[in-house]
Amino acid sequence: MRTLRWSVLGLLVLASACSKPAAPSEWHGGVTEQPKLEPAARAAALVATLADEDLVGQVLMPYAYGQHATNVTEGAAAANKKLVGVGTPAEMIAKYRLGGLILVGFEAGDPTAKQTSNIADPAQVTEFTSGLQAAAGGLTAKAPLLIGTDQEFGIVTRIKSGVTQLPSAMAFGAANDPAATEAAWRAAGSELLAMGINVDFAPVADVQGASGVIGSRSFGDQPKIVGEQVVAATRGLQGSGVAATLKHFPGHGNPAADSHDDLPELRQSRQELTRTDLAPFVAGIGAGAKLVMSGHLDVRAIDPGLPASFSSKILIDLLRTELGFTGVVVTDALNMAPAQRWPAGEAAVKALLAGNDLLLMPPDPAAAYDAILAGVKNGSVPRERLVQAATRVLTLKFGLAPAAEGQNVLASAANTAAALGLAQKSITLLKGSCTKPLVTGPVRVTASGGREVAQAKLVAELKAAGVSVVEQGGKVIHLVGYGDQRADLHKGAAVTVAMDTPYLLRHADSPVLLATYSSSAVSLTALARVLAGSAKPSGRSPVEVVGLPRSACA
């Protein structure tokens, strides 16, 4: 029955993809040009010529160590050899015939690989991605590589310098201007594409609930507003040529546990899931999002005890059949704790059979590759399922734009203006006067521990706006941010500013309470303008803060 199920479903999905084709594109950078067929037809034709070994590689998207495709440090080479038996990312692509690679901005758990995260600056990223595409051009498939990263902005930002920095998703929700959201994300996408990144694992479609785990990564706690923002971000990214990813399906906003470390439980009823958590995903799918990321979440109302990322009831019956998604389903990272309840090879097979098309960050890529290939050979993995997944991945690739020529868009004046305009609209006054100056006379900026960069930025922006800033005395403007607690508040501060979720403001005793939702440079520039009186705090908190209005200016 499983084999028949996959075969029929595969034909339905392929027919759907062919009925709504994306514009074809020609790829360069080491990848041989292909005939100008529609992406789905082109993918199906290519898959028919590929060996099982090629198909398995297409559904894998691991990470690699190093900052160059062929020339890495000794530490990175040693870490790669420990991970997959070869020294460089290019060799890794060749050995496992990979369909994709994710660029990470952190050390992936190996102490021998210090200083080998993939991202240094835009010039390095651009050279790196060009080398990765050249390596993909040497494969039998002659297909472009999917190169992704987590550029959500706010607290999850992989490329932190030399590019336009947007504020957090929650700031977008506070601004509540979908047109401005689309413009800002289009600007950000154009910069990713210029660096050779064609998949962004964003936007977050989770509706913020009682849990603080997702926090300012969410657009807010109202499904309608979150859905509108998801649609705008998706259109912006994909309008620039970068594939958007809705995550973490079917919604990570409520459970208290963090799926990096544990298996969170979603205890909502099926009706509540539909009304709240699923609504932004439905909106994003309707906007044409090319990927959906399956979350490591225990959805008690549908398939209790099994992570959604391994549940065919959730990925096939709900996401595919009920919601009608025909794009690529990608797992959340398979090196996270809920996915490591099984050995790496077994987890990869289970994830593929559950309905995922792209397996992200398997902890042992060799084991994942070998297990899927062995399963196809012995019949435990229906070849139709592998063909279906690889076809979806290749359809995605052939529908994407080629990397943009030139770097002139990076941190351009127009892109910065789009980001600043959005940030300005997000600044929210939760307590204080909307008609009088928020602070007068000399001011002193203080911050909780670890906020020195944000503190210095605000001081500079206030001085540029004509505000008298002193080092001693003055009225205190106090900054708090991600992870801060009540002890990090400044008793008696004239103004307290929350640069992450605004929940901590309920405990502050300041007569003026402001939220930026982000410590991005544009958010601090916007904050300075509000404090200087040259701009109004027109945002509205996208989440409820006990004891405070969503805006004191409503």
Q: Say if residue 142 is in the same domain as residue 276.
A: yes
Helix axes 521-532, 452-464, angle to 10 degrees: 40
Q: b or e along 397-428 (b: 16 or more beta carbons within 10 Å of the residue's beta carbon)?
A: bbbbbbbbeebebbbbeebbebbbbbbbbbbb
507 flagged as catalytic: no
Residue 6 has pLDDT above 60, yes or no: no
Q: Which whole number is the average pLDDT over 3-8?
A: 36
Peptide bond into 250 cis (omega under 30): yes
Predicted pLDDT at 28: 33
Q: What is the mean pLDDT of residues 335-344?
A: 94
Please give the Cα distance from 426 to 417 (Å, whole number): 14
Q: Which of the following is catalytic: 28, 260, 261, 509?
A: 260
- For 94-145, write each residue's pLDDT tens digit: 999 999 999 998 655 555 555 558 999 999 999 999 999 999 999 999 999 9
Helices (H), 304-382: 312, 344-354, 365-378
* Structure-token pair, residue 303: 């398939």
Could you read off the pLDDT of 270-322 as tens digits, one per residue? 999 999 999 999 999 999 999 999 999 999 999 999 999 999 999 999 999 99
Q: Confidence band (pLDDT; 50, 70, 90) for 407?
A: confident
Residue 394 shares a structural domain with residue 486: no
| Cα(495)–Cα(486) distance, integer angstroms | 15
- The candidate with the shortest Cα–Cα distance to 333, out of 259, 263, 386, is 259
The stretch 462-478 carries a mean pLDDT of: 97
**Owning domain of residue 508:** 427-532
Q: CA angle at residue 472 from 469 to 477, to 5 degrees? A: 55
What average pLDDT does this structure show over 483-500? Answer: 97
Q: Do 152 and 255 fall within a single domain?
A: yes
Q: How far apart are CA 513 and CA 550, in angstroms?
A: 11
Q: Determine, yes or no, domain membership for 443.
A: yes
Asked whether residue 539 is domain-assigned, the answer is no
275 in a structural domain: yes
Structurally, the chain folds into a number of domains equal to 2
Amino acid identity at 279: A
Do 35 and 113 sit in the same domain of this protein? yes
Q: Is the same domain home to 451 and 394?
A: no
277/337 same-domain check: yes
Q: What is the pLDDT of residues 543-554, one digit of tens each?
A: 999 999 999 997
Asked if the model's pLDDT at residue 19 lies above 50, the reply is no
In the prediction, which pLDDT does 107 show? 53
Q: In this structure, what token pair is assigned to residue 425?
A: 């609209």
Closest Cα to residue 309, out of 250, 366, 254?
250
> Could you tell me if 386 and 438 lie in one domain?
no
Band the pLDDT of 3: cuts 50, 70, 90.
very low
Q: Looking at the structure, do residues 106 and 55 belong to the same domain, yes or no?
A: yes
Spatial distance between the Cα atoms of 231 and 396, rounded to a whole number of angstroms: 19
Mean pLDDT of 434-451: 95
Q: What is the pLDDT of residue 520?
A: 96
Residues 478 and 386 placed together within one structural domain of the fold: no
Share of the chain above pLDDT 70, in %: 90
Least confident of 198-202, 396-400, 407-411: 407-411
Q: How far apart are CA 349 and CA 385, in angstroms?
A: 11
Preceding amide of 248 cis, omega within 30: yes
Judge if 267 and 320 occupy the same domain.
yes
Q: How far is CA 302 from CA 267, 270, 308, 313, 449, in A?
A: 10, 7, 9, 7, 43
Is there a single domain that holds both residue 472 and residue 367? no
How much is the pLDDT for 70?
Answer: 98
Query: Is 288 within a domain?
Result: yes
How far is C-alpha 123 from the geometric centre of its chain's CA atoms? Answer: 22
pLDDT tens digits, one per residue of 236-252: 999 999 999 999 999 99
Choice between 11 and 212, residue whose per-residue pLDDT is larger: 212
Q: What is the CATH number of the domain that holds 297?
A: 3.20.20.300
* CATH number where 463 lies: 3.40.50.1700
Per-residue model confidence as pLDDT tens digits over 125-138: 999 999 999 999 99
Residue 186 lies in a domain: yes
**Among 54, 303, 332, 364, the one annotated catalytic:** 332
Whether residue 21 has pLDDT greater than 60 = no
Same domain membership, residue 148 and residue 54? yes
Domain-embedded: residue 542: no
Does residue 122 come out as left (phi exceeding 0), alpha (psi in the -120 to 50 range) or beta?
alpha
The predicted pLDDT at position 259 comes to: 57
Which residue has better confidence, 106 or 62? 62
Our answer to whether residue 260 is catalytic in this structure is: yes
Q: What is the pLDDT of residue 105?
A: 81
Q: Is the pLDDT of residue 9 over 70?
A: no
High-pLDDT (> 90) share of the chain, %: 85
Q: What is the DSSP letter of 316?
A: I
User: For all residues of the chain together, what is the average pLDDT?
Assistant: 91
Tell me, yes or no, whether 364 lies in a domain.
yes
Q: Tell me whether residue 294 is in a domain.
A: yes
**Low-confidence winner among 76-80, 324-328, 352-356 (lowest mean pLDDT):** 76-80
- pLDDT range class, residue 10, cuts 50, 70, 90: very low
pLDDT at 406: 73
